[in-house]
Amino acid sequence: MEILDTLKQRLSVKSQQLRRYKEANGRKQQNRIFTTNEKTYYRNLKSERRSDCHDTLPDKQALIAFWVSTWGNAVKHNLKVSWIRRKETRVSNVTAMEHSPITTEQVSRLNAKTLNWKAPGPDGINNFWIKRFTAAHSYLAHHFNQFMEDAGNIPDFLVQGITYLLSKSHDC
């Protein structure tokens, strides 16, 4: 009887080791795919969802009500709380970081690292064209430097965003 219990315990230990190995190996494989090809990674994630899952979209009124309740109400914070004064005192002697100007070469080098056909921003221009239109890189560097010197000078379209509601249901 003891031999049977010992064998069961060994089997349990080995099965747990195998399970942990498979999970770790799966994470490593996902990391490798993500670093080499993000598109494939996200496609694999999408295909892992159950095929019988049917997400129902909320109606327009429900979406509007949700986002108005989230973003539509101005919140007044108490700015006289003690922890804010302590933080202000702590950082009051910190000197501002010096701005080193952004060069055209830096803009070109960083543009080269961007993915060509990702969704364009509000300007509607894909990274592919920004990479190839090298005459604009000096102008981009100039404007980036202006924005660093005077943050109030940044156009609204550069700091706008779009929020998408994504389902995080565990059933699907």
What digits encode the pLDDT tens for the residues 103-147?
A: 999 999 999 999 998 888 778 889 999 999 999 999 999 999 999
State yes or no: pLDDT of 60 exceeds 80. Answer: yes
- Prediction pTM value: 0.45
pLDDT in tens, 21-48: 999 999 999 999 989 988 888 888 877 6
Q: Is the pLDDT of residue 50 over 60?
A: no
Asked if residues 111 and 99 have their Cβ atoms less than 8 Å apart, the reply is no
- Each domain of the chain, given as residue ranges in start order, spans 2-36, 101-172
Cβ partners under 8 Å of residue 115, min gap 6: 38, 127
- Rounded to the nearest 10°, the torsion over CA 115, 117, 118, 119 is 150
Q: What is the pLDDT of residue 25?
A: 94
- 77 falls in which pLDDT band (50, 70, 90)? confident
67 dihedral zone (left: phi>0; alpha: psi -120 to 50; beta)? alpha
